[in-house]
Amino acid sequence: MEVNFEGITGGDDYAAIYQAVSRRYKRLKQGEHEAPDILFIDGGKGQVRGHKRH
C-alpha cells in the first residue's frame, strides 16, 4: 500500500504512522473497507504508540 503523506516533515515516523493509521480507520468507520484481522507496525514502541499522539 502506498501512502502520500500531507504536512509531514521528512523523517517524522511518528507523524507518518499517525496519519496512515488515522486514514485507514477513518475509512473503516465510513464503511469503505473491512477491518483487518491484525495490524502490524514496523518499528519500536514510539511508532506503535504514534497513532495515539493526537
Residue range 1-54, pLDDT digits in tens: 677 888 888 888 888 888 888 888 888 889 888 888 988 877 788 777 766 654
What distance, in Å, lies between the first and last C-alpha atoms of the chain? 23
* Rounded Cα gap, residues 29 and 41, in angstroms: 20
Q: Which residues contact 21 (CB under 8 A, 6 or more apart)?
A: 39, 41, 50, 51
Which pLDDT value is given to residue 10? 83
Q: What is the pTM of this model?
A: 0.66
Which pLDDT value is given to residue 37? 92
